[in-house]
Protein backbone atom coordinates (compact mmCIF):
# COMPACT_ATOMS: atom_id res chain seq x y z
CA UNK A 1 0.00 0.00 0.00
CA UNK A 2 1.31 3.42 -0.93
CA UNK A 3 2.03 5.71 2.00
CA UNK A 4 -0.52 8.39 2.73
CA UNK A 5 0.23 11.64 0.91
CA UNK A 6 1.76 14.33 3.01
CA UNK A 7 1.76 18.05 2.66
CA UNK A 8 5.07 19.56 1.60
CA UNK A 9 7.28 20.80 4.38
CA UNK A 10 8.15 24.43 4.87
CA UNK A 11 5.69 27.26 4.73
CA UNK A 12 2.61 24.99 4.40
CA UNK A 13 3.67 22.30 6.90
CA UNK A 14 1.15 23.40 9.53
CA UNK A 15 -1.79 23.89 7.16
CA UNK A 16 -3.51 20.51 7.64
CA UNK A 17 -3.51 20.71 11.43
CA UNK A 18 -4.64 24.32 11.31
CA UNK A 19 -7.54 23.48 8.98
CA UNK A 20 -8.77 20.55 11.10
CA UNK A 21 -8.63 22.59 14.30
CA UNK A 22 -10.33 25.50 12.56
CA UNK A 23 -13.16 23.26 11.34
CA UNK A 24 -13.81 22.06 14.88
CA UNK A 25 -13.77 25.61 16.23
CA UNK A 26 -16.10 26.81 13.49
CA UNK A 27 -18.56 23.99 14.16
CA UNK A 28 -18.65 24.63 17.90
CA UNK A 29 -18.73 28.40 17.47
CA UNK A 30 -21.53 28.29 14.88
CA UNK A 31 -23.68 26.09 17.10
CA UNK A 32 -23.19 28.36 20.11
CA UNK A 33 -23.84 31.54 18.14
CA UNK A 34 -27.06 30.04 16.77
CA UNK A 35 -28.19 28.92 20.23
CA UNK A 36 -27.34 32.26 21.86
CA UNK A 37 -28.57 32.98 25.36
CA UNK A 38 -27.09 31.05 28.24
CA UNK A 39 -25.26 28.55 26.03
CA UNK A 40 -23.36 31.24 24.14
CA UNK A 41 -22.65 33.24 27.30
CA UNK A 42 -21.33 30.13 29.06
CA UNK A 43 -18.93 29.36 26.21
CA UNK A 44 -17.61 32.93 26.20
CA UNK A 45 -17.15 32.89 29.98
CA UNK A 46 -15.11 29.68 29.78
CA UNK A 47 -12.99 30.97 26.89
CA UNK A 48 -12.28 34.26 28.67
CA UNK A 49 -11.23 32.42 31.82
CA UNK A 50 -8.84 30.24 29.82
CA UNK A 51 -7.37 33.23 27.97
CA UNK A 52 -6.67 35.09 31.19
CA UNK A 53 -5.09 31.88 32.51
CA UNK A 54 -2.83 31.79 29.43
CA UNK A 55 -1.89 35.44 29.86
CA UNK A 56 -1.08 34.94 33.54
CA UNK A 57 0.92 31.81 32.75
CA UNK A 58 3.20 33.31 30.10
CA UNK A 59 3.85 36.45 32.13
CA UNK A 60 4.57 34.58 35.39
CA UNK A 61 5.58 31.00 34.46
CA UNK A 62 7.02 30.16 37.89
CA UNK A 63 3.83 31.01 39.78
CA UNK A 64 1.88 27.82 39.10
CA UNK A 65 -1.20 28.45 41.23
CA UNK A 66 -1.69 32.13 40.44
CA UNK A 67 -2.67 31.67 36.73
CA UNK A 68 -5.39 29.18 37.64
CA UNK A 69 -6.73 31.52 40.31
CA UNK A 70 -6.75 34.43 37.87
CA UNK A 71 -8.48 32.36 35.20
CA UNK A 72 -11.23 31.32 37.58
CA UNK A 73 -11.55 34.88 38.86
CA UNK A 74 -11.88 36.21 35.30
CA UNK A 75 -14.61 33.70 34.43
CA UNK A 76 -16.55 34.45 37.61
CA UNK A 77 -16.14 38.20 37.17
CA UNK A 78 -17.42 38.09 33.59
CA UNK A 79 -20.37 35.92 34.58
CA UNK A 80 -21.23 38.36 37.39
CA UNK A 81 -21.00 41.36 35.07
CA UNK A 82 -23.34 39.72 32.57
CA UNK A 83 -25.88 38.82 35.24
CA UNK A 84 -25.83 42.28 36.84
CA UNK A 85 -26.00 44.30 33.60
CA UNK A 86 -25.37 47.54 35.50
CA UNK A 87 -22.62 50.00 36.34
CA UNK A 88 -21.28 47.42 38.78
CA UNK A 89 -20.40 45.24 35.80
CA UNK A 90 -17.42 47.47 35.04
CA UNK A 91 -16.06 46.91 38.54
CA UNK A 92 -16.09 43.16 38.04
CA UNK A 93 -14.43 43.44 34.63
CA UNK A 94 -11.38 45.19 36.07
CA UNK A 95 -10.74 42.62 38.83
CA UNK A 96 -8.32 40.47 36.76
CA UNK A 97 -6.53 43.63 35.67
CA UNK A 98 -5.99 44.68 39.27
CA UNK A 99 -4.72 41.22 40.19
CA UNK A 100 -2.26 41.17 37.30
CA UNK A 101 -1.10 44.71 38.04
CA UNK A 102 -0.25 43.97 41.66
CA UNK A 103 1.33 40.51 41.43
CA UNK A 104 4.99 39.99 40.48
CA UNK A 105 5.31 39.13 36.78
CA UNK A 106 6.93 40.19 33.53
CA UNK A 107 5.47 43.28 31.90
CA UNK A 108 2.72 43.44 34.49
CA UNK A 109 1.38 46.79 33.30
CA UNK A 110 1.02 45.56 29.73
CA UNK A 111 -0.46 42.29 30.96
CA UNK A 112 -2.95 44.21 33.08
CA UNK A 113 -4.11 46.32 30.12
CA UNK A 114 -4.37 43.27 27.89
CA UNK A 115 -6.39 41.45 30.56
CA UNK A 116 -8.85 44.35 30.55
CA UNK A 117 -9.13 44.06 26.76
CA UNK A 118 -9.87 40.35 27.11
CA UNK A 119 -12.60 41.02 29.68
CA UNK A 120 -14.17 43.82 27.62
CA UNK A 121 -14.13 41.55 24.55
CA UNK A 122 -15.92 38.81 26.47
CA UNK A 123 -18.57 41.19 27.78
CA UNK A 124 -18.89 42.71 24.31
CA UNK A 125 -19.48 39.39 22.58
CA UNK A 126 -22.24 38.43 25.00
CA UNK A 127 -23.94 41.83 24.88
CA UNK A 128 -23.68 42.08 21.08
CA UNK A 129 -25.31 38.67 20.67
CA UNK A 130 -28.11 39.65 23.05
CA UNK A 131 -28.72 43.16 21.69
CA UNK A 132 -27.84 43.03 17.99
CA UNK A 133 -28.60 39.40 17.24
CA UNK A 134 -26.88 36.59 15.39
CA UNK A 135 -26.03 38.68 12.32
CA UNK A 136 -23.82 41.03 14.34
CA UNK A 137 -21.72 38.18 15.74
CA UNK A 138 -21.53 36.43 12.37
CA UNK A 139 -20.36 39.66 10.74
CA UNK A 140 -17.73 40.22 13.41
CA UNK A 141 -16.41 36.66 13.20
CA UNK A 142 -16.51 36.70 9.38
CA UNK A 143 -14.49 39.92 9.28
CA UNK A 144 -11.80 38.51 11.58
CA UNK A 145 -11.66 35.17 9.76
CA UNK A 146 -11.52 36.76 6.29
CA UNK A 147 -8.80 39.14 7.42
CA UNK A 148 -6.81 36.30 8.97
CA UNK A 149 -7.20 33.84 6.08
CA UNK A 150 -6.47 36.34 3.30
CA UNK A 151 -3.60 37.78 5.29
CA UNK A 152 -2.19 34.27 5.88
CA UNK A 153 -2.20 33.27 2.22
CA UNK A 154 -1.28 36.67 0.76
CA UNK A 155 1.60 37.02 3.18
CA UNK A 156 3.04 33.63 2.24
CA UNK A 157 2.37 33.87 -1.49
CA UNK A 158 3.32 37.51 -2.06
CA UNK A 159 5.73 38.18 0.80
CA UNK A 160 7.28 41.62 0.68
CA UNK A 161 8.11 44.20 3.34
CA UNK A 162 7.30 43.40 6.93
CA UNK A 163 4.53 45.33 8.68
CA UNK A 164 6.23 45.52 12.09
CA UNK A 165 9.25 43.19 12.11
CA UNK A 166 10.44 44.08 15.61
CA UNK A 167 7.21 42.77 17.13
CA UNK A 168 5.61 40.45 14.58
CA UNK A 169 8.32 39.25 12.16
CA UNK A 170 5.94 37.12 10.04
CA UNK A 171 3.34 39.80 9.31
CA UNK A 172 3.79 41.52 5.94
CA UNK A 173 2.23 44.58 4.37
CA UNK A 174 0.79 42.41 1.60
CA UNK A 175 -0.98 40.24 4.12
CA UNK A 176 -2.14 43.24 6.13
CA UNK A 177 -3.70 45.01 3.14
CA UNK A 178 -5.21 41.75 1.87
CA UNK A 179 -6.87 41.42 5.27
CA UNK A 180 -8.43 44.87 4.93
CA UNK A 181 -9.74 44.03 1.47
CA UNK A 182 -11.17 40.71 2.61
CA UNK A 183 -12.89 42.38 5.57
CA UNK A 184 -14.36 45.12 3.37
CA UNK A 185 -15.78 42.46 1.05
CA UNK A 186 -17.42 40.79 4.04
CA UNK A 187 -19.00 44.11 4.99
CA UNK A 188 -20.18 44.58 1.41
CA UNK A 189 -21.73 41.12 1.38
CA UNK A 190 -23.63 41.76 4.62
CA UNK A 191 -24.84 45.15 3.40
CA UNK A 192 -26.02 43.81 0.06
CA UNK A 193 -27.82 40.91 1.73
CA UNK A 194 -29.81 43.34 3.87
CA UNK A 195 -28.14 42.56 7.21
CA UNK A 196 -26.66 45.98 7.85
CA UNK A 197 -26.08 49.51 6.62
CA UNK A 198 -23.48 50.79 4.17
CA UNK A 199 -21.21 51.71 7.07
CA UNK A 200 -20.37 48.02 7.39
CA UNK A 201 -17.99 48.32 4.43
CA UNK A 202 -15.52 50.88 5.89
CA UNK A 203 -16.25 49.65 9.40
CA UNK A 204 -15.24 46.12 8.44
CA UNK A 205 -11.86 47.35 7.23
CA UNK A 206 -11.40 49.32 10.47
CA UNK A 207 -12.35 46.29 12.58
CA UNK A 208 -9.92 44.20 10.54
CA UNK A 209 -7.12 46.64 11.37
CA UNK A 210 -8.09 46.57 15.04
CA UNK A 211 -7.94 42.80 14.92
CA UNK A 212 -4.48 42.92 13.35
CA UNK A 213 -3.33 45.23 16.13
CA UNK A 214 -4.74 42.77 18.65
CA UNK A 215 -2.66 40.07 16.99
CA UNK A 216 0.44 42.25 17.14
CA UNK A 217 -0.16 43.10 20.81
CA UNK A 218 -0.33 39.42 21.74
CA UNK A 219 2.79 38.70 19.65
CA UNK A 220 4.65 41.45 21.50
CA UNK A 221 3.67 40.03 24.88
CA UNK A 222 4.83 36.56 23.84
CA UNK A 223 8.15 37.87 22.51
CA UNK A 224 8.78 39.74 25.74
CA UNK A 225 7.94 36.56 27.66
CA UNK A 226 10.15 34.42 25.41
CA UNK A 227 7.43 31.97 24.34
CA UNK A 228 6.19 30.89 20.91
CA UNK A 229 2.58 30.06 21.82
CA UNK A 230 0.29 31.15 24.63
CA UNK A 231 -0.40 27.47 25.37
CA UNK A 232 -0.94 24.18 23.53
CA UNK A 233 -4.72 23.98 23.89
CA UNK A 234 -5.46 24.10 20.13
CA UNK A 235 -3.39 21.86 17.80
CA UNK A 236 -1.83 23.89 15.01
CA UNK A 237 -2.87 27.20 16.52
CA UNK A 238 -1.22 27.19 19.94
CA UNK A 239 -3.41 28.66 22.63
CA UNK A 240 -6.74 30.44 22.69
CA UNK A 241 -4.98 33.81 22.75
CA UNK A 242 -3.09 32.80 19.60
CA UNK A 243 -6.38 32.12 17.86
CA UNK A 244 -8.62 34.81 19.32
CA UNK A 245 -6.17 37.71 19.73
CA UNK A 246 -7.55 39.40 16.62
CA UNK A 247 -11.13 38.93 17.80
CA UNK A 248 -10.22 40.62 21.08
CA UNK A 249 -8.99 43.74 19.28
CA UNK A 250 -11.98 43.73 16.93
CA UNK A 251 -14.60 43.46 19.68
CA UNK A 252 -12.95 46.14 21.82
CA UNK A 253 -13.09 48.61 18.91
CA UNK A 254 -16.71 47.73 18.14
CA UNK A 255 -17.62 48.31 21.78
CA UNK A 256 -15.82 51.67 21.76
CA UNK A 257 -17.69 52.67 18.61
CA UNK A 258 -21.01 51.67 20.17
CA UNK A 259 -20.14 53.76 23.23
CA UNK A 260 -19.14 56.81 21.16
CA UNK A 261 -21.87 56.48 18.52
CA UNK A 262 -24.69 54.29 19.85
CA UNK A 263 -27.04 55.28 17.01
CA UNK A 264 -24.63 54.22 14.24
CA UNK A 265 -26.68 52.32 11.61
CA UNK A 266 -24.44 49.23 11.54
CA UNK A 267 -27.19 46.66 11.65
CA UNK A 268 -30.71 47.02 10.45
CA UNK A 269 -29.72 50.40 9.00
141, part of any domain: yes
3, part of any domain: no
266, part of any domain: no
The count of domains in the chain is 1
Residues 6+ apart with CB under 8 A from 185: 146
60, part of any domain: yes
Write the DSSP string, 203-264. HHHHHHHHHHHHHHHHHHHHHHHT-SSS-SSBTTTBSHHHHHHHHHHHHHHHHHHHHH-TT-
10, part of any domain: no
Look up the domain containing 122 and give its range: 15-260
Q: With 60 as the cut, is the pLDDT of residue 267 above it?
A: no
5, part of any domain: no
9, part of any domain: no
Q: CB burial class (10 A; 0-12, 13-18, 19+) of residue 203?
A: buried
- pLDDT tens for each residue of 29-44: 778 888 788 999 999 9
- pLDDT tens for each residue of 131-177: 888 888 999 999 998 998 888 888 778 877 787 777 777 778 888 89
- Model pTM score: 0.85
Amino acid sequence: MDPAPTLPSGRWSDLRTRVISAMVMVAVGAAEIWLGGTAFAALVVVLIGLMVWELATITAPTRRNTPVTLGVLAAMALAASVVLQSELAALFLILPTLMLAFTPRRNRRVAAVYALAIMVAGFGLISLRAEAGTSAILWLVAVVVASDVLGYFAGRLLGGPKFWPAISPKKTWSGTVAGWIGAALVGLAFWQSGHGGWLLVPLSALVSFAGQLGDIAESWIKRRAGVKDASALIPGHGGLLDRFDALIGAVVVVMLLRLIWPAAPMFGG
